[in-house]
A and B are shown apart, each in its own frame.
Chain A
Amino acid sequence: MEIVEVVRAGGKPFKRAYVSIFLWFTGRAIQAAAKVDEQVRREFNSLPDDFTFSLGVLPDGPWMVIGREKGQVKYLGGDPEGRHLHVRLAMKNIETAFLILSFRESTALATARNRLITEGEVPQALAMIRVMDIVEVYLLPKMIARLAVKRYPSWTPGRKFFGRIGIYSRAMLGI
């Protein structure tokens, strides 16, 4: 049979760029939230000392990797290759990733609609989903965050205000 056309993976540069930037910033924000928010710190403390987590898009990325190193939560870049991952959350394709990361579908609903593949132990994956929900509430205005989480939390104005400043500034500076 003659090959008429080879279909190559890739394309959709705008969506791919959006997802890449989102994952990069969220990774840094999770690192920051582990320093700023007590609940996030508690979630990470319940995980193994060398815990490593990755969130990204199948088949070729982009990805972000978060890990614990010497008790500190660190954003470890965008390349999970060669790392031992305790939990991997993979969005099935770039369209799915864009749908979730543009907050048209919550993480819970995306899971229910088989758009995410979870690899690793369930309790650890649930802890990371709780962390991401908290970070989304900090990063996003209430109107948008309500689309991303099942229930918008009733935090004190102080927690929200100072937490938001702390996380945004640390994420920008990468500290």
Chain B
Amino acid sequence: MVLPDYYEFCCRVKIVAGHDALEQIPGLLSEKGAKKPLIITDKGVAGAGLIDVVSRVLQDRLAGILIADNVPPDSDLRIVHQLAQFYRDNGCDAIIAVGGGSVMDTAKGVNIVVSENASDLMAFSGAGALKRPLKPLIAIPTTAGTGSEVTQVAVIKDHEKHLKMAFLSYFLLPDVSILDPRMTMTMPPFITAMTGMDALSHATEAYYCLQKNPLSDAHALSAVSMIYQHLPMVVQNPSDLNGRLAMSIGACLAGIAFSNSMTGIVHNLGHASGSVCGVPHGLAMAILLPYGLEYNMHKCEDIIARLLLPMAGETDYLNTPKEQKAQKVVSLIRQMNEDLHILTNGRHARCFREVKDREGKPMVPRETLPEIAGAALLDGASMYNPEDTDYTDNLMVLEAAWEGCPLDLSKVKKG
């Protein structure tokens, strides 16, 4: 156990998890004194029939249910302002966010504008701009990956000015998060695989990055255990309700862990590959995770080795020689990517050269790697990585992750 001299930990979200957990929504709203919630979602979630599930729970108990399903795949400032106006015009008094990361971020943005009675969300960007609690927000994730239902961050893009603004405050934590397996059951195997690997990357990075602490460790280890056991099962059998619930809880645990201990090189390079080439975040996490562990191996081999217990179980952990434990963790994650590649008929990419867009064109041409390596220098996640990273380090990791071959550990610079 690593005991830091000092750390901070906060998660004050009420988690309501289980089969039929959605049935609790009317009671939860009434606890908050809310009678007219605005449901914020996107067309994909609505099209999959998930809003109908929520509406059915609410329709007998509330007079009117307002639904806004125009959240784009990338959060958008204009939409935040539109939805805030819609909320005010209809006299709403709470927000229910149903969706993935973009919906959660949008709902948090709307909540800032309506609670502060503001005209411009951007006046509240950065850390610490919010000084008081916001309107009640209930988060219902429809993926098991982002952990946004328990994080204090929102990222909103101003597409007109090409700006991406982050909002950071404990007041952005939802009041309640509802984890109901019905909400993730319709996710296709390919999306289940990459969002699940996103959650595994949150838990793993939370466990080895600089801000780790005993409380984030406890959440991270439980998350690794749940995700590692259940992800292949739900990809293989999407209607496995218990598996879906375990994945939602695992992703939630991972979200609590990483929002209190931050992430490192995997997210650093993943954000950059997303902004330069549009690589889906979960896929980038899946590809980069083994490389992040290898890159930091010389700094935290003992810590990485401890991840073998929740992944492989007691017998394997005890039978593996001490000096091989950390390397085995890396091998197991690579093997999981291989398994997911097979289970999704090749749609789950194992390396950057396999990432393709809808038309089958490669999304990460090799010549874009220098640009990604440069873009990563602008991302704050590098700060929390145990080993320092510079342009050449980033490029070395990206080249190995593009080829799909293990990192040459002799080339990792040690100071």
Give the interface of A toward B (CB within 8 A).
108-109, 111-115, 117-120, 122-123, 125-126, 129, 146, 149-154
Contact = CB atoms under 8 A, between A and B. Distances in A.
Interface stretch (B24-32, B235-243, B354-362, B375-383): B375-383
* Most chain A beta carbons < 10 A, residue from B128, B166, B382: B382
A118 B415 contact: no
A122 B375 CA distance: 12
A153 B383 CA distance: 17
Nearest to B211: A112
A114 B415 contact: no
Contacts of B384: 108, 111-112
A129 B210 CA distance: 16
B370 to A, nearest CB: 16
Interface of B: 4-8, 126-128, 166, 209-211, 262, 377-380, 382-384, 386-388, 413-415
Enumerate the 5 nearest inter-chain pairs by beta-carbon distance, A residue then B residue, closest first.
A151-B415, A123-B378, A151-B388, A112-B210, A152-B415
Given A109-B210, A151-B387, A152-B415, A115 B378 contact: no
B387 A129 contact: no
Contacts, number: 58
A171 B48 CA distance: 65
Contact of A113 (B211, B379, B387): B211
23 contacts: A109-B210, A112-B209, A112-B210, A112-B262, A112-B383, A113-B4, A113-B5, A114-B6, A114-B8, A118-B127, A119-B127, A122-B166, A122-B379, A123-B378, A126-B377, A126-B383, A149-B388, A150-B386, A150-B387, A150-B415, A151-B414, A152-B415, A154-B413
B161 to A, nearest CB: 14
A108 B210 contact: yes
Contacts of B211: 112-113
Given A114-B7, A150-B388, A126 B415 contact: no
Contacts of A150: 386-388, 415
Contacts of A117: 127-128
B106 to A, nearest CB: 21
Given A126-B378, A151-B387, 7 more contacts: A111-B383, A113-B211, A119-B127, A122-B380, A151-B388, A151-B415, A152-B415
A126 B209 CA distance: 17
A151 B413 contact: yes
A19 B380 CA distance: 26
Nearest to A124: B378
A113 B415 contact: no
Contacts of B126: 119-120
Contacts of B5: 113
A115 B5 CA distance: 11
A117 B190 CA distance: 40
A41 to B, nearest CB: 16
A151 B386 CA distance: 10
Contacts of A122: 166, 378-380
A113 B209 CA distance: 12
A152 B413 CA distance: 10
A154 B392 CA distance: 13
Nearest to B414: A151
Nearest to A142: B415
Contacts of B413: 151, 154
Contact of A129 (B166, B383, B415): B383
B380 A126 contact: yes
Contacts of B6: 113-115
Nearest to B378: A123
A117 B384 CA distance: 15
A146 B415 CA distance: 8
Contacts of A146: 415
Contact of B415 (A111, A112, A119, A149): A149
B9 to A, nearest CB: 10
Contacts of A152: 415
A87 to B, nearest CB: 11
Contacts of B8: 114
A130 B30 CA distance: 51
Contacts of A125: 380
* Most chain A beta carbons < 10 A, residue from B6, B386, B414: B6
A125 B7 CA distance: 22
A12 B274 CA distance: 48
A120 B4 CA distance: 27
A113 B7 contact: yes
A126 B4 CA distance: 24
A149 B5 CA distance: 18
Nearest to A113: B6
